[in-house]
Structure 1
Amino acid sequence: MNDAVATTLVGVFGISGSLLMLFSALAMFRVRDALSRINVFSPATGLGMPLIVVAVYVYDIHSEGFSWGSLLMAAAAVLCLIIVSSVGSNTLSRASVLSGQPVYRKTAPNRLARPPAGVVDDDPDSPDQPRTGA
């Protein structure tokens, strides 16, 4: 593999994975409830991190040559990232719902629209709500 191809592949995979992580982190500031935040961050951990691992693997092939150990390590890392991402997202979502966290009322479709008993779900955008904080 020549230098131009390796540098291009490392750049494309590394930058796209990093941008996906950055955009997911920025999108977390725009969503209002825990379920949406978990949903927004899942693509970053399921696709962004594996792209960065692939970029490191391509760089490793270019600098040190092919080795089965490096290939197995990269494949195991990508597989583990995908498994941990899906299991972690599912566990966090279940914990969020079962703990009584309200779902933002403008989320559509919202099958969890009614908050659990005892939980108050005030609309922060409503002009009737008193402002708190500085």
Structure 2
Amino acid sequence: MTVAEIIVSILAVLATVMVVATAVAMWRAPDALTRVNLLGPVVGVAVPFLLMGKLILDWSTTGFDPNNTIRAILAIAGVWIVASVGSYYIGRSIYGVTVVDRKAEQQQAYR
């Protein structure tokens, strides 16, 4: 096993551990808003680990390819942007459905 394959294996194992830990945490989470917030490590770290592992494996077998490097960088940036915007909107929609605003209810009662 080469050094690159060892690094790729470590990255894949770390990503797998994060996915399993997140799945267990989501299973035990008390509500939907907590479950949405638990997706952060998988999207923010595990997916980029897998993309970096693929990039390192490609570099070790075929050599450095700027096209693959740019594609990997764009994929990681895209995952982070889409995940942050998506989790924001999912969190807002869940928060709007599950949380009761006592101040607004009191104001409605006085009208």
CA distance in 2, matches of 1:34, 1:113: 18
Match of 1:88 among 86, 89, 98: 86
TM-score (norm 2): 0.85
Q: Name segments (4+ residues, structure 1) moved above 6 Å.
A: none
CA RMSD in angstroms comes to: 1.9
Report the counterpart of residue 128 of structure 1 in structure 2.
none
For residue 37 of structure 1, give the secondary structure of its aligned residue in structure 2. helix
Partner deviation per Cα, 1:69-110 (whole Å, 9 max, x = no partner): 010011011111111111111110001112x225xxxxxxxx
For residue 2 of structure 2, give the secondary structure of its aligned residue in structure 1. helix
CA distance in 2, matches of 1:63, 1:113: 57
Counterparts of 1:10-89 in structure 2, within 5 Å, are: 10-89=8-87
Query: Shift of the alpha carbon at 1:113?
Result: 8.4
Partner deviation per Cα, 1:13-69 (whole Å, 9 max, x = no partner): 111112111211111000111110011111111111001100111111111111110
Q: Which has the higher helix share?
A: 2
For residue 38 of structure 2, give the secondary structure of its aligned residue in structure 1. helix
Judged with a 3 Å threshold, the aligned counterparts in structure 2 of structure 1 residues 7 and 113 are, in CA distance, closer, same or farther, namely farther
Query: Shift of the alpha carbon at 1:4?
Result: 2.0
Gaps of 5+ in 1: 103-111, 118-134
Structure with more contact order per residue of length (Cα contacts < 8 Å, sep ≥ 6): 2
For residue 29 of structure 1, give the secondary structure of its aligned residue in structure 2. helix
CA distance in 2, matches of 1:49, 1:23: 14
TM-score (norm 1): 0.71
Identity %: 27
CA distance in 2, matches of 1:57, 1:31: 34
